[in-house]
Amino acid sequence: MSRRLSHPDRPSSGQPWPAAGGILAVSLLLAGTGFLSGATSLGPVGRPSPVQAVTSAPYSIGVLVIKYFPLTADGQNIDISVTGDVGGSAASVEANVAAMTDRLPQLLSQGTEYRGYENPTAPPSVTYRIVDTVQFNTPVPVIPSTFNSNYPMRADYHTIMSNVGICSYVQNRGVQEVWIWAYQGPHQLDISESKMSGPYGDISNSYRLNDMPQCGRTYTVYTFNYGRGVALAVHSYDHQLEAELTYMDAHLFRDIFEGPNYPYTLHVMGRCGSVHNPPNARYEYDWRNPASNPSDCNDWNPNGLGTLQPISCATWTCHLNGENDDPQLHYLIWWMQHFPGLGNTLTYHGLPMRNWWDVHGDFDAAVRAGRSLTIQIWAPTTSALGNTTTGPFSSATKIQSRGGYITWRVDGGSAVANQLLEVWVYKKYSASGKWEGPTLLTTRRASSDGIAYLNIRSGSVLWMSVRPKLPSASTRPASWGPTSIGLWQ
């Protein structure tokens, strides 16, 4: 027996990026009285803002909720012979699950507020909308399993997803996640905290069997145990975040962001910790440790060590008020809020740190753009033609001019084909003088091969830097690069 509880799709609280105008910024550093031939100076413009990660946040994730309540013959109670450890009236269990389902989107979205623990106005990178709810008053479909000797049966996720027509939800209604509320018991049901299906396989906290229906785009399935509280649901969810970020860059995420597993016991400084182990952990699940340990998480620096501060459960809370309000839950929200998020200005090895929530908000797009937690700066092939030494050149390369014009060739390939290039310059009138600018001088349209030519004249020595970068998608603007001068409009 099943009944469907339908919810209208609720709109996202975020606004999409406007379409990009197709202008690529090209930066030129000039010494002497360099000008573009025939160009009209448009006057000085403002200095670039600090580096910020390119992002499509906030993302609105559509969620399908599935509930399994196996009932006794009279239909009034949960059948504990099936669940193993959850009984009582069906009405009370249903009410508890409804309350946790209502609370979970708020908690998860709160976790995406970058440094929200110190900035109550920090915007979220991810919001959630319940697209539909399907309830079954029957046991979870199962298949025999040999993966875990304690659980001879495991959830049959292919059947579960097929029974609800998952691909219709994914393809037509914007569902990216499925939240299953079920049971586990001491020996009744082996569940996977998370599973993934999509073009890039099963990147999840599971056996990674990749055994769910393929729908042409990625969706993720979570199984939450309603015999436990909402804190464990967030815990399960966060293991999926760990799986995704590890897939993108295991060293940066696991080693540099999370750091050692038991910092207090090992007598080492903590970084930001993991789902199981805070920066002051003595052992697994040590979210309530009152003893402090030094950690740089509040000033996390991926290139070295940030400012150390004492971290203990007092940083989030040491008070245990049940599974819906306990140190684990508060720690996990604190932990999530340290992911480099919306508006972060971090860099790693000279590259801007992306908004890590891009990986979760649009997994397929993030992987297509390259498995990295930084923004890859696009550096075109460049060469100087005419009366110059051989190229290509960098921002530190001197180009000796013998008078006349220098022709500079930019080859960005298909990435900039037929796009308009903005040309910005810094000018320096003497070797000891100060750089002036940047100034927008002109624009050039790249050819269908992505090639553009710039004719430049200079009286003495010319320094050039052609270091633009592209956004991860053509429909959203990029940010300033660490050495580039220019901005996608």
Tens-place pLDDT, residues 96-140: 999 999 999 999 999 999 999 999 999 999 999 999 999 999 999
Q: So what's the pLDDT on residue 396? A: 34
Residues 397, 443 within the same domain: yes
252 and 325, same domain (yes or no): yes
∠ Cα 110 115 118 (to 5°): 100
CA distances from 291 to 319, 329, 483 (A): 14, 19, 43
The whole-model pTM stands at 0.71
pLDDT digits (tens, 9 = 90+) for 419-447: 776 655 555 555 565 655 555 666 777 78
What pLDDT, on the 0 to 100 scale, is given for residue 449? 78
If you average pLDDT over each of 16-30, 181-195, 388-402, which comes out highest? Answer: 181-195
Does residue 489 belong to any structural domain of this protein?
A: no
Tokens matching residue 138:
């029957």
Res 238 pLDDT > 50? yes
Distance, in Å, from the CA atom of 116 to the CA atom of 332, rounded to the nearest integer, reads: 13
pLDDT at 411 over 70: no
Q: What is the pLDDT of residue 419?
A: 75
Confidence of residue 464 (pLDDT cuts 50, 70, 90): very low
Where does the pLDDT of residue 150 fall: very low under 50, low under 70, confident under 90, or very high at 90 and above?
Answer: very high
Residues 188 and 50 in one domain: no
Per-residue tokens: 45: 């413009």
Peptide bond into 438 cis (omega under 30): yes
Say how far apart CA 167 and CA 214 lie, in whole Å: 8
Residue 16: predicted pLDDT: 25
Q: Which residues of 186-213 are buried (b: 16+ CB within 10 A; e: fewer)?
A: eebbbbbbbbbbbebebbbbbeeebebe
Domain that holds residue 275: 55-336
Radius of gyration of the chain (CA): 27
E strand or H helix that includes residue 489: none
Residues 280 and 258 in one domain: yes
> What are the structure tokens assigned to 32, written together?
């002497």
Residue 347 within a domain? no
DSSP structure string for 275-337: SS--TT-SSTT-TT--S-EEE-GGG--TTS----EEE-GGGT------TTSSHHHHHHHHHHT
pLDDT band for 378, please (50, 70, 90 cuts).
very low
Query: Does residue 348 form part of some domain?
Result: no
Do residues 188 and 331 share a domain? yes
Give the CA distances from residue 466 to residues 233, 374, 470, in Å, rounded to whole numbers and listed in that order.
48, 20, 13
Is residue 187 located within the same domain as residue 312? yes
Please, which residues have CB within 8 angstroms of residue 213's CB and are 6 or more apart in sequence?
Answer: 158, 161, 162, 166, 167, 197
d(CA 97, CA 372): 37
Answer yes or no: is 133 within a domain. yes
Does residue 79 contact residue 146 with C-beta atoms inside 8 Å?
Answer: no
Q: What is d(CA 103, CA 450) in angstroms, rounded to the nearest whole number?
A: 50
One domain for residues 327 and 425: no
Nearest CA among 211, 183, 187 for reference residue 197: 211
pLDDT of 91 over the 90 cut: yes
Tokens of 6: 């339908």
Contacts of 343 (CB under 8 A, 6+ apart): 52, 53, 114, 122, 123
Half-sphere exposure of 337 (CA within 13 A, CB side): 23
| Statement to judge: residues 99 and 80 lie in one domain | yes
Residue 355 lies in a domain: no
Same structural domain, 231 and 303:
yes
Tell me whether residue 284 is in a domain: yes
Q: Do 304 and 412 belong together in one domain?
A: no
State yes or no: pLDDT of 62 exceeds 60: yes
Average pLDDT, the chain: 78
Within-domain flag for 195: yes
What lies within 8 Å, CB to CB, of 331 at 6+ separation is 273, 278, 287, 313, 316
Q: Per the domain annotation, does 359 fall within a domain? A: no
Q: What is the pLDDT of residue 35?
A: 32
Domain end position, chosen among 314, 336, 358: 336
Domains contained in the chain, number: 2
Say what percent of the chain tops pLDDT 70.
68
Same domain assignment for residues 282 and 247:
yes
Q: Same domain, yes or no, for 420 and 458?
A: yes
Going by C-beta distance under 8 Å and a sequence separation of 6 or more, which residues neighbour residue 411? 380, 381, 382, 383, 449, 450, 451
The answer to whether the CB of 223 falls within 8 A of the CB of 192 is yes
CB count in 10 Å sphere of residue 323 = 16
Q: Angle CA(90)–CA(95)–CA(98) in degrees, nearest 5?
A: 125
* Strands 175-182, 219-225: pairing kind: parallel
- Boundary-marking domain end, from 274, 307, 336: 336
Kind of pairing, strands 126-136 and 59-68?
parallel
In sequence order, the 6+-apart residues with CB closer than 8 A to the CB of 86 are: 78, 80, 93, 183, 185, 226, 227
